[in-house]
Amino acid sequence: MKIAISGTPGTGKHRLGRDLSKLLGFKLLDLNKEIGSKPDRETEVSVKDLERLVKNKLEDDMIIVSHMAHMISDEYFDLLIILRCNPEILSKRLKARGYDKEKVYDNVVFEALDGSVIETIELGKKFVQIDSTRDYKTTLRQAYLLITKNKRPRKFNPDYSRYVIRFGL
């Protein structure tokens, strides 16, 4: 099985990917590490570049992690998980990472406007949203049960649009 985990920076993709790969015995393909992306600098990369990278590294039983994982062709994964987070909590997480005000603002507004979800819908892909706002153990348990037992988390379609006003858009 090949699993892609995507979502706005700060939602917990990399931690979830690492922990799931250990629990399931899957290999982890962290696209940010592969392309040398770091939070303190911009790295321009095209979807075609990501797909070429995935195609060259892809193996059975692999978890692909990136804030752009939802953009790659769904021929490279069997399951797409998009992590979501309450924008106020996300803002705190990004500030704790040392993101500058502009980068915090951009990512929080992107999350409030359902950026990853809208991009995925526009690409016609199926996906499952998991809320990573609360305790991490719940997020991990929901993802694990989804993968191992096809047990979908409770219906989760957040409307974070009210936060756009709070963050001054």
Q: State how far the alpha carbon of 44 is from the alpha carbons of 12, 95, 139, in Å.
A: 22, 23, 30
pLDDT tens digit sequence for 57-103: 999 999 999 999 999 999 999 999 999 999 999 999 999 999 999 99
Range of the domain at 29: 2-166
Tokens of 118: 């809208």
Burial 118-149 (b: 16+ CB within 10 A, else e): ebbeeeebebebbbbbeeeeebbebbbebbee
Give this prediction's pTM. 0.92
CATH number for the domain harbouring residue 152: 3.40.50.300
133-165, pLDDT tens digit by residue? 989 999 999 999 999 999 988 777 788 887 877
Total structural domains in the chain?
1
Q: Which token pair is 16? A: 């979830």
Give the separation between CA 74 and CA 93, rounded to whole angstroms. 29
